[in-house]
Amino acid sequence: MIPSLRAAFNESWTDSKYRNLVQRLESRAAATLDFPISETPGFMPRSLMSTLASTGLTLLDQILGNHDAMTEGNAIVPERFRGAGAEALPTFAQVDFGLVRDADGQIAPKLVELQAFASLYGFQLAMAEAYRDAFELPRGLEAYLDGLSAERYHQLLATAIVGDNDPAEVVLMEIEPRRQKTWPDFVVTEQMWGVRAVDTSEVKREGRRLYYRRDGRATQIKRIYNRVIPDELERKRIQLSFGYGDDLDVSWAGHPSWYFLVSKFSIPFLSHASVPETRFLDGIDQLPIDRERYLLKPLFSFAGGGIIFAPTDAQIAAIPRDQRKYYILQERIAFEPVIDTPEGPTQVEIRIMYVRDPSLRASGSGLRPVLPLLRMGRGKMMGVDHNKGLRWVGASAGFIATD
């Protein structure tokens, strides 16, 4: 998006540099990556990134400060995922934006999704570092948001994930973590903060305490960095050794109740120029005629699962009426291709990653923007399944330059 940087990068790009990038990442994660890495990072103007970061914070504060939304959200959280041990405010949040061309011909952000769930806080930073080194990017490009330094970023995440605990007594809990596409992030998380990924089946209970085996020794778990996606837990019918609502001697970094409270469920409650028209399916009396302009989305699916483009009457009728409150009908976003590549213009989705900063307690949610995460694509959606066989697409990092 910065023409001079884009032209210089494209001109100097080589396949060997790209292979070097992937090799650096796979060496760092000690694993083969199970998802595509884009051939390019994004070079983003500071003004745009500041707008995205502040807009995302406005949306998060708006939903967290909406009594009706929080009340209705609490009612929709399944009983299994409720718990008095949840944080009063989310520890992590993500806001995803697409870039569109507005009526005045200017590039503007449109909300895609928001969630209060952890993202790739370790691997995303490692990816930015790998792009910088593999392509020998010029100095002056920043990977952090909000003026953060590398040291301050590390401290913020250490506070959020580990807290005051010994890292050995904190676990990154996931379902079969080595089988997850996010395994590289788990590896980098342990490298950076000493917190090890543990399978849900390895967590044992004794009274109010939870344990796991670390290097052959029973070790008490005093804090859980939660990476378990609730719909995967339900779909696989996994039973835990404890209940999320149990009275346990454990604190949470990302209690699963927040997965529901700040989610696609939140979008109809938002009022902002960046928010596309979004309504709960059960509250629509007259379905729109121009159905090609809309998406039908289940509220609590992950990574774009279950989304229907231009839903037909038959597809909508197939959803039982008592289940329609768990779906939204959303205006489709027309992404503008803004990344020039040797294989044509590419669209980009930009995630702003937030972490609660204890020094901001007096300010709304206390969330602070820390890193951008980029997904590039030319398919129907940004996900891997919609961009198969394409190059210059996939996961990427964003670098911020002075306008």
Q: How many CB atoms lie within 10 A of CB 276?
A: 18
Q: What is the mean pLDDT of the chain?
A: 92
Predicted TM-score (pTM) of this structure: 0.94
* C-alpha to C-alpha distances, 321 to 296, 311, 324, 363, nearest whole angstrom: 15, 16, 5, 41
Residue range 16-49, pLDDT digits in tens: 999 999 999 999 999 999 899 999 999 999 999 9
Query: Is 98:261 a contact under the CB 8 Å cutoff?
Result: no
Rounded CA gap, 179 and 227, in Å? 13
Q: Which strands make up the sheet holding 347-356, listed edge to edge? A: 42-45, 394-401, 367-377, 347-356, 92-101, 107-115
Residue range 141-189, pLDDT digits in tens: 999 999 999 999 999 999 999 999 999 999 999 999 999 999 999 999 9
CA angle (173, 28, 184) in 5-degree steps: 30
Query: Is 224:248 a contact under the CB 8 Å cutoff?
Result: no
Q: Break the chain into its structural domains and give their ranges.
A: 3-276+333-401, 277-332
Query: Is 346:377 a contact under the CB 8 Å cutoff?
Result: yes
Take residue 379 and report the two structure tokens written for it. Answer: 């398919």
Residue range 204-235, pLDDT digits in tens: 999 999 999 999 999 999 999 999 999 899 98
**pLDDT for position 386:** 58
Sign of CA dihedral 151, 157, 162, 165: positive
**pLDDT for position 46:** 94
Rounded CA gap, 239 and 233, in Å? 8
Q: Can you list the pairs that 156-161 forms with residues at least 24 positions away whose Cβ atoms lie under 8 Å?
A: 156/355, 156/357, 156/368, 156/370, 157/121, 157/192, 157/193, 157/355, 157/370, 158/193, 159/358, 160/91, 160/92, 160/253, 160/355, 160/356, 161/121, 161/189, 161/193, 161/195, 161/223, 161/225, 161/253
Core vs surface per residue 164-182: b (16+ CB within 10 A) or e: eeebbbbbbbbbebeebeb
**Beta carbons within 8 Å of 143's beta carbon, 6+ residues apart:** 125, 128, 129, 132, 371, 397, 398, 399, 400
Collapsing DSSP states into helix, strand and coil, what is residue 74? helix
Residue range 41-89, pLDDT digits in tens: 999 999 999 999 999 999 999 999 999 999 999 998 999 999 888 999 9
Residue range 320-352, pLDDT digits in tens: 999 998 899 999 998 999 999 999 999 999 999
Average pLDDT over residues 357-365: 78
Give the DSSP letter of residue 277: P
Taking 60 as the threshold, does the pLDDT of residue 384 lie above it? no
Least confident residue range of 55-64, 272-281, 355-364: 355-364
Taking 90 as the threshold, does the pLDDT of residue 242 lie above it? yes
Taking 80 as the threshold, does the pLDDT of residue 385 lie above it? no
* C-alpha to C-alpha distances, 229 to 174, 177, 254, 329, nearest whole angstrom: 8, 12, 11, 23
Q: How confident is the model at residue 303 (pLDDT cuts 50, 70, 90)?
A: low
**pLDDT for position 382:** 60
